[in-house]
Amino acid sequence: MRHLIDPTDFTVEEINQLMLRALDIIDNRAKYADACRGKKLATLFYEPSTRTRLSFTAAMMELGGNVLGFSDAASSSVSKGETVADTARVISQFADIIAMRHPKEGAPFIASQYASIPVINAGDGGHSHPTQTLTDLLTIRRELGRFDHLTVGLCGDLKYGRTVHSLIKAMGRYEGVKFVLIAPDELRLPDYIKHDVCDANNLEYIEVSTLEEAMPLVDVLYMTRVQEERFEDRAQYLRLRDSFILDTDKMALGKKDMIVLHPLPRVNEITPEVDNDPRAAYFRQVENGKFVRMSLIYTLLEWKTQDTRHETRELVEGDKCSNHRCITTIEPAKNLYYKAENNIWRCIYCDHEK
Ligand code: CP
């Protein structure tokens, strides 16, 4: 059985297969109308969502399957103290596949250790969002026709923006990809992405302080919202939230064939006038999210007989993780750390340094 917890759980070849199947679904909708007849998807959303939950629901419905679940942790037995591990065991008796969103980092990973059905990470805290990455990849593929030799600008909240972390991991595996990082000092990329992903793989990146500098360079501009819900200091959020705003003047500095992506929801980092620019691909990106999730559900159910991937990293047991957003702060899980770049030990659930 296979799960999708991190974008690199799938090889480049497997991602390619997922993309090809998504493109086939787009061209042959009727062929897939009964592909998951009799199967059930459980959507376990402990944190708000519009696109991810509803696109998973629409995806399963268009595959002929059914959907059950909750969209508010308060209406589930987590409000009585049930653990993610127990919830995963229980839901495995009712459904064939789980999509889980959780504010704690590593929660879907714990679920995958206890479930007897495939688990999909639908976003865990400020950590990862691999199905958004699949959505982004399908959009880049449909809009630009390739993944290699692209310059990708990432703008906004690169610290808490889980979509950015997952996209760098995924895009960094293609030849000739470069990144332009545009963020306030306080919201720069976490070390585990910068050192363990970018530096360790010799990925080319530059950091710039204005959108004006980035616009002429990029083929893909990935705008993100400053993640209000992850800040402990509200004054800091208010100070940083409008750091970068994409408007029509800045769009005029961009390449003619570049595209603008945004995982959405947007707050005010892209002015509404930009929506009329054909290079603004973020609403087309939403539709791709449904098609790629159809491809993913179908494929993970098909792969159910494959072996579960085993941990190959060197692990040690340690004290409680110091990241207050880590699932181990609320779940009675063994604290394990893996050896990362420069002999730094990182939590297996949230990648935070030991
Ligand atoms: N992009 C994304 O994850 O949107 P939702 O939070 O609405 O699911």
| Whole-model pTM over 0.85 | yes
**Ligand 1 center to 318 CA (angstroms):** 34
Q: Would you say the CB of residue 50 lies under 6 angstroms from ligand 1?
A: yes
- Residue 106: other Cβ atoms inside 10 A: 30
Protein residue whose Cα sits closest to atom 4 of ligand 1: 51
**Ligand 1 center to 55 CA (angstroms):** 10
| Strand ranges in 49-118 using DSSP code E only, listed in sequence order | 66-70, 97-102
Query: Which CATH number is 7-129+287-305's, of 3.40.50.1370, 3.40.50.150, 3.90.120.10, 2.40.128.20?
Result: 3.40.50.1370
Numbered ranges of CATH 3.40.50.1370 in the chain: 7-129+287-305, 131-285
Q: Would you say the CB of residue 132 lies under 6 angstroms from ligand 1?
A: yes
**Ligand 1 center to 264 CA (angstroms):** 6
Nearest ligand 1 atom to alpha carbon 50: 7
| pLDDT the model gives residue 308 | 78
Q: Which tens digit of pLDDT belongs to each residue from 142-187? A: 999 999 999 999 999 999 999 999 999 999 999 999 999 999 999 9
Protein residue whose Cα sits closest to atom 6 of ligand 1: 49
Q: How far apart are the C-alpha atoms of 163 and 155, rounded to whole Å?
A: 11
Cα 124 to Cα 103, 212, 242, 270, 342: the distances in Å are 6, 32, 24, 25, 26
Residues of the chain with pLDDT under 70: none
Residue positions counted in the chain: 354
Q: Which tens digit of pLDDT belongs to each residue from 267-325? A: 999 999 999 999 999 999 999 999 999 999 999 999 988 887 788 899 999 999 999 99
| pLDDT the model gives residue 228 | 87
Q: Which CATH class is domain 131-285?
A: alpha beta
Q: Would you say the CB of residue 87 lies under 6 angstroms from ligand 1?
A: no
Cα 281 to Cα 44, 238, 343: the distances in Å are 29, 28, 41
| pLDDT the model gives residue 76 | 84
Q: How far apart are the C-alpha atoms of 268 and 47, rounded to whole Å?
A: 22
**Ligand 1 center to 49 CA (angstroms):** 5
